[in-house]
Amino acid sequence: AQSVTQLDSQVPVFEEAPVELRCNYSSSVSVYLFWYVQYPNQGLQLLLKYLSGSTLVESINGFEAEFNKSQTSFHLRKPSVHISDTAEYFCAVSHRDDKIIFGKGTRLHILP
C-alpha cells in the first residue's frame, strides 16, 4: 500500500529566506508524485508533478521538487519565499490509474 508522510505540520520562515517542505512516500512500485497548494479559502491547485524523466521538476512560481528514488523523497523547495506563498502544501502519490494518496499537509507561514 502507498502512503505519504509530510514530516512538518507547520513551517515558519522569514520572507525572502529559502524553504524546504519535506515529503517521503512508501510504495513498492513506481509512482507518480505531486505537490498541491491550497491558498486560504480556496481549493487545491496542482503546483508541480513528477511522472517520469528528469527528477527535478519546477513550477511557474519558483518552486521546485526533486524525486529521489533511493530516499523515497519528493521534497519541495524555494530559494526565496514571498508573503503570497502563505498556504498549505500537500504532497501526494499515485501509481498510474490508482487513486491519489495525500499527505496531511504542511502549513507554510511567511514571517515579515
Partner 1 sequence: EAGVVQSPRYKIIEKKQPVAFWCNPISGHNTLYWYRQNLGQGPELLIRYENEEAVDDSQLPKDRFSAERLKGVDSTLKIQPAELGDSAVYLCASQPSETYEQYFGPGTRLTVT
Nearer to partner 1 by C-beta: 63 or 90?
90
DSSP E strand stretches across 1-112: 3-5, 10-14, 19-21, 24-26, 32-38, 44-50, 56-58, 64-68, 73-78, 87-94, 101-102, 106-111
Residue 64: CB minimum distance to partner 1, A: 18
Nearer to partner 1 by C-beta: 19 or 103?
103
Nearer to partner 1 by C-beta: 28 or 41?
41
Binding residues for partner 1, rule: CB under 8 A, are: 4, 9, 32, 34, 36, 41-46, 49, 51, 90, 92, 94, 99-100, 102-105
Residue 71: CB minimum distance to partner 1, A: 21
Residue 105: CB minimum distance to partner 1, A: 5
- Number of residues written out for the chain: 112
The whole-angstrom separation of Cα 10 and Cα 6 is 10
Residue 77: CB minimum distance to partner 1, A: 20
Beta bridge partners of 12: 109
Chain center to CA of 71: 15
Nearer to partner 1 by C-beta: 43 or 112?
43
